[in-house]
Structure 1
Amino acid sequence: MIWIMTTIDQMRTRFETIWPHLDEKGRRLWAASEAKAYGRGGLKIVHDVTGMSRSVIAEGLRNLAGESVLPEGRIRRTGAGRKALTKINVTLLEDLKALVEGSTMGDPETPLLWTTQSLRTLATALQAKGHKIGHVTVGTLLANQGYSLQGNRKTLEENSHPDRDDQFQFIATRVADNQAQGQPVISVDTKKKELVGLYKNTGRAYRPKGNPIKVKGHDFEDKELGKVAPYGVYDLMHNEAWVNVGTDHDTSAFAVESIRRWWYLMGKERYPEATQLMITADSGGSNGSRVRLWKTELQKFANETGLEIQVSHFWCAAEETGE
């Protein structure tokens, strides 16, 4: 009896020492070799010491005996191993998307998305819904869905309005409702104004050696060419964007004209049965919530097309701080 206890203790010591350094295949073969060396009852002893399932140890014994030969470079046979959680629980991915939908930020010009909720917070919320999942797996699922890990950026304003998050949630709900009904939802904004002419741009291009493209030495506005104001219209449903480049001022008339051109050149074809149009926009600029001309021009557009137009504005820092 003393010899048996000593042998098991030695096996446990070897197990604790070598286990962290082995992959799945190595652990299976090590456990099988220990069971084989122990002799009769070895499979049960190794199972008790390591916690490995008996079927895995038995598979290792078959590997050692040459009865089950794995292809080169594989640690298990094809089709073996644990199934993905998303296949075991078909609602997992939908529940995860629902949690991050209202807290997702991103640039509509790129496929990158990121969420303001931590992985552990999301994992806890999913566990409350009955899912057995850890924060590491949550991170893997988010990465597979196009989310990325982002560094901090100074974007938070002080004295944030207490209803700010409620407004974002309200807009997200309205967007989802309109999309569910097949109605168009667009996000509009004026992009960075650009000088027109031979001005320096960042980046490089292949040219004959010693023959770079010559540009102006100073970025003063050309009085004849002036600046251009790109106004973007982003279709959330189809992930498509329309940019109208204006050479005049960024006015509300220009903003609505950009929406009008998007509708007749893209939107009307995409949504032939549309009766409504939802617009999301910032609270400032040519499409600001307090700009009377913006509302007047939108009414003209509504009368012209027969569309019922809904506008939802996001919070503006200037409105919150009183600037």
Structure 2
Amino acid sequence: MATLFGCDEKTIRKGIKERANPESLEQTTIRRSGGGRKCEMSKNPDIDEIFWEILREHTAGDPMDEKIKWTNLTRHEIREKLNKKGIKDRYNIVRKLLKKHGFVKRKALKKTSTGQPKNRDKQFKKIASYRTEYENSENPIISIDASIKESIGNLYREGHLETTETIEVFDHDFPNFADKKVTPYAIYDLKNNESFVNIGTSCDTSDFVCDSIKMWWNTADELLDIRAQIANRDGIVP
């Protein structure tokens, strides 16, 4: 029969046994239990000890909670150290070991409270009172802030333009390629729903702020007779 079907005699004998015992064929998987190539983790009974030996000098923890630990080693660095110990990471062993011992890639969570200042609400109540006072008067209320600095020059810009030819710019946006940097300073008039932007080449200094407010003041005709104003910047009333 082996010659007729072109198979090994062991296969024929196995088929005869399976026909004699049909219950052995009742399984849900194609491969029988225990079959296949053995995992590297099962080949090395000391792999957990080796793993912690590698992490021992590269692991820190929370002094207030012994369950919280972290390592400064990357998976690639752990893999290299395992290779030096004679363990080849062919089947993502590092990922399995990290998961087994509770290490999961996470981002830091801003949650721990720094405490509640005694007069925390006082500043907000003061700001609200100023706003109410100025809303009921002719005095303006403005919101001021500097935007992100922009490099000026033959540099790449996001977006599209209607052009007749392709606009070519530098292949890299290195700072030294820029002609200069500018700082847009925005002033928003809350009452009139109007904005004013002053673009300067200086840093975001107090002089630049005052000059920007002065320019806005001088361009607003209706403010010529006003003697006071309120400016909000990051929740602070100057």
Which gives a bigger RCO, structure 1 or 2 (Cα 8 Å, sep 6+)?
2
TM-score with structure 1 setting the length: 0.35
TM-score with structure 2 setting the length: 0.47
Greater gyration radius: 2
Q: Which has the higher helix share?
A: 1
